[in-house]
Amino acid sequence: MIKYLIIVLLLTLSLNAKIRSGSSSESGSIGVNLIYFTPDFDSLNRGIKSLGIGGFEDGMFLWGGEISGAVNSMVSIGAQYYNGATSISGRVDKIYEGNNVKVSRNVRYNIGYGGLNVTYNRKIGFGNYFLGGSANYGSIKLQISQDGGDLDFSQLINSYNDPNLIHSTNLKMDLYAFEIYSGVKIPIAEKVSIMFSAGYLYGFCNENGVLNYDFENVSNVPDMDIKSFRYSISLMFGA
C-alpha cells in the first residue's frame, strides 16, 4: 500500500510543479486530517460472536494527511492517505488438555486507504467554501489472536507445535473507497488554515480475503462494506 501512495504523491507533486511553472499565482498545501465515521459492524459482530468477547461498537477515527496543488484559483487536486484501527478483547474459559483455562482473545479491525482527490474552492466572507470528492484503494485487516498469558520466546515458538491454545491470524480484504464532502476552510494564521467538512464515505470490500500475508485464501468473509457519513477536521499549511 505504501508504494502505491508514494507513486500517487510523486505524480501529484509532478503535476503541481508543472501547473505552478505555468502560473506563479497558484500554489499548494499540505495538511493533517482527522476523520470520524460509523462503519456498520453488525455482520462482522455476528461472525465473531462465538469468540465470546462481545462485538465492535459503531464509530471510529481515521488519521491521515493530504498534499494538494492548485490547478487554478478554484480547482485543486491532491493525494491523500488515511488509517485507523479499533479492537475488542476479553478473557474466556477454554478446555485445554482436560483442564479449564482462561485465555485472552482479541480482534483488531484496521482500515487504511489512499488515493486522489479533486476539490472545487470558492471564496466566502471568512475563508473558503469547498466541495470535493476522492477515489481510493486500500484494505481492511482483521487480526484475530488468542493466548494463555505471558510467554518466553521458546514457549512462543513451541506453541506452533500445539496450536490448540495460541492462535494469531491476519486476514486482509481489498477495499475500494469513494468520498464526497463539502466544508469550509478558515485562515487562523499566515499560510495556516483549519478545515471542517462533512460528507459521505462509501467503500466496498471483496468477500474473500487472504490469510497470514497471502499464505491462504478465506471465503465468505462477513460483509464489511462501508456506507457512512463522515466528518473531518484538518490543519492545513500553505496557500
- Give the cell for residue 218: 478465506
Show Cβ contacts of residue 129 under 8 Å, excluding neighbours closer than 6 positions.
121, 122, 123, 182, 183, 184, 185
What CATH number has the domain bearing residue 109?
A: 2.40.160.20
The domain in which residue 96 lies consists of 2-238
Indicate the SS3 state at residue 3: helix
pLDDT tens digits, one per residue of 41-80: 999 999 999 999 999 998 999 999 999 988 888 999 999 9
Pseudo-torsion of CA 227, 231, 232, 233, nearest 10°?
Answer: -170
Rounded to the nearest angstrom, the gap between the alpha carbon of residue 179 and the centroid of all alpha carbons in its chain is: 13
Q: Contact, 182 vs 132, CB < 8 A?
A: yes
Cβ neighbour number for residue 155 with a 10 Å cutoff: 12
175: buried, middle or exposed (CB in 10 Å: 19+, 13-18, 0-12)? buried
pLDDT tens digits, one per residue of 127-172: 999 999 999 999 999 999 988 777 778 877 777 776 667 788 899 9
Q: What is the pTM of this model?
A: 0.84
Confidence of residue 37 (pLDDT cuts 50, 70, 90): very high
**Domain count within the chain:** 1
